[in-house]
Homo-oligomer: A and B are copies of this chain.
Amino acid sequence: MEEGTSTSLGYPEGTVSAWSDAHQWDTREDCEVRQILDRIADKWSLLVLALLAERPLRFSELRRRIDGVSQRMLAVTLRHLERDGLVSRTVFPVVPPRVDYALTELGESLGSTVQALVEWTEGHQERIIEARNRYDSAKVSAEA
C-alpha cells in the first residue's frame, strides 16, 4: 500500500526479530501487522470480539447489544472477522432464519486480550475524562 516513504528498501536485514528489542514497523513483514491491527481494532470489531468472547450470539443479539451499530456495519464487520478466521458463522436452516456467530479457536486466543482492553477502558474512563478536562482547561487558559 503505502510502501516506505523514505528508506523503504535496503533494510539492515535481521531487524524482524519478534518483539525482542527495539521495534520497527517499517519492515515489509510488519506492514501486515499494521493492516491486521487496523482491522481488529476498527470501530466495531473490538466490541464484537469482546461480546463473542463471553458466548456465541446471533446477529440480532449482537445488534441489540452494540447500540449504534448499523445493520450494514455489523454485517461488514462480521464478514471481515469471518474472513480473518476469528469468527465462525453457523446458519440454522430454519424459518425464520437463525445465524450464530462464535469465536473460532484463533478468535478465542485473541478474546482475552480484547476483553482486557475493554475492561481497562471501563475501569479507567473516569481518569481519562478527568485528564481531558484538565487538558482542555489548561489549553483555554493558555490561549486566553
Contact = CB atoms under 8 A, between A and B. Distances in A.
Interface of A: 2, 4-6, 8, 18-19, 22-26, 29-34, 36-38, 40-43, 46-47, 50-51, 54, 64-68, 82-86, 106, 109-110, 113-125, 127-132, 134-136
Identify whether the interface residues of A are mostly helix, strand, loop, or mixed.
Answer: helix
A106 B51 CA distance: 25
Contact of A25 (B42, B47, B85, B132): B47
A31 B38 CA distance: 21
> Which 8 residue pairs spanning A and B have beta carbons closest together?
A85-B131, A26-B67, A41-B41, A83-B135, A2-B68, A113-B116, A84-B128, A32-B125
Contacts of A64: 26
